[in-house]
C-alpha cells in the first residue's frame, strides 16, 4: 500500500496511489484508533491550550479537558477525513475546538505516516473557535 499525505487546512488527508479502498479504510481506522487513544490519555507536554481556554478557572479547564477526552460526536462536518483528529462543543456560551496534530519525532514537520508510532509525535491544541486561524502567515524569508 502506498499513501501520500497532503496538508489541507491542517488536516491530514490520505490520497490513494494504487491502493485498494480496503487499504485506505484500514489506514483510516488505524489513525482513528491512535487518535482516540491519544485523546484519552494525552499528557501536559503534548497539550497546548489557547489564552481563551486559560482564562477559564481550573475547574472549568478540567471540565473542558474531560469533554475532549470523552468526545464522541464525530460527523462529516467536524471530521471530514474520518480521522477523529478534531472536534467542537459548546461550553459556557463559547464554542471550544480541539485538533490533534501529527508531527515527525523531531517536531519539525508533518509526520510522514501518522499510522506509524515510530515516526509520529501527536500534539493537541484546544482553543476557542473564535481564536481559530484559517491561514497561517507566509513563512518564506
Q: Is residue 120 part of a domain?
A: yes
- In which band, very low, low, confident or very high, does the pLDDT at 139 lie, cut at 50, 70 and 90? very low
Residues near 137 by beta carbon (within 8 Å), at least 6 away in sequence: none
Q: What is the pTM of this model?
A: 0.76
Domain count, the chain: 1
Q: Is residue 53 part of a domain?
A: yes
Average pLDDT, the chain: 82
pLDDT digits 0-9 by tens, 54-65: 999 999 999 999
pLDDT digits 0-9 by tens, 61-94: 999 999 999 999 998 888 888 999 999 999 999 9
Helix 21-41 vs helix 58-69: crossing angle, to nearest 10? 150
Q: Is residue 93 part of a domain?
A: yes
Q: Is residue 140 part of a domain?
A: no
| Burial bucket for residue 64 (CB in 10 Å: 0-12, 13-18, 19+) | buried
* Domain interval for residue 15: 3-131
Give residue 23's pLDDT. 81
Q: Is residue 57 part of a domain?
A: yes
Q: Is residue 91 part of a domain?
A: yes
Q: Is residue 136 part of a domain?
A: no
Q: Phi/psi class of residue 10: alpha, beta or left (left: φ > 0; alpha: ψ in -120 to 50)? A: left
Q: Is residue 88 part of a domain?
A: yes
Q: Is the pLDDT of residue 9 over 80?
A: no
Amino acid at each position: 500500500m502506498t499513501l501520500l499525505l497532503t496538508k489541507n487546512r491542517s488536516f491530514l488527508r490520505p490520497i490513494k496511489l494504487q491502493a485498494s479502498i480496503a487499504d485506505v479504510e484500514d489506514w483510516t481506522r488505524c489513525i482513528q484508533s491512535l487518535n482516540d487513544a491519544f485523546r484519552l490519555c494525552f499528557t501536559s507536554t503534548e497539550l497546548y491550550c489557547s489564552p481563551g481556554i486559560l482564562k477559564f478557572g481550573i475547574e472549568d479547564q478540567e471540565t473542558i479537558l474531560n469533554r475532549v477526552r470523552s468526545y464522541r460526536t464525530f460527523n462529516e462536518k467536524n471530521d471530514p477525513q474520518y480521522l477523529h483528529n478534531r472536534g467542537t462543543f459548546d461550553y459556557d456560551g463559547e464554542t471550544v475546538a480541539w485538533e490533534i496534530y501529527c508531527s515527525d519525532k523531531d517536531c519539525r514537520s508533518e509526520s510522514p505516516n501518522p499510522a506509524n508510532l515510530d515516526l509520529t509525535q501527536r500534539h493537541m491544541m484546544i482553543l476557542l473557535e473564535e481564536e481559530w486561524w484559517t491561514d497561517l502567515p507566509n513563512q518564506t524569508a
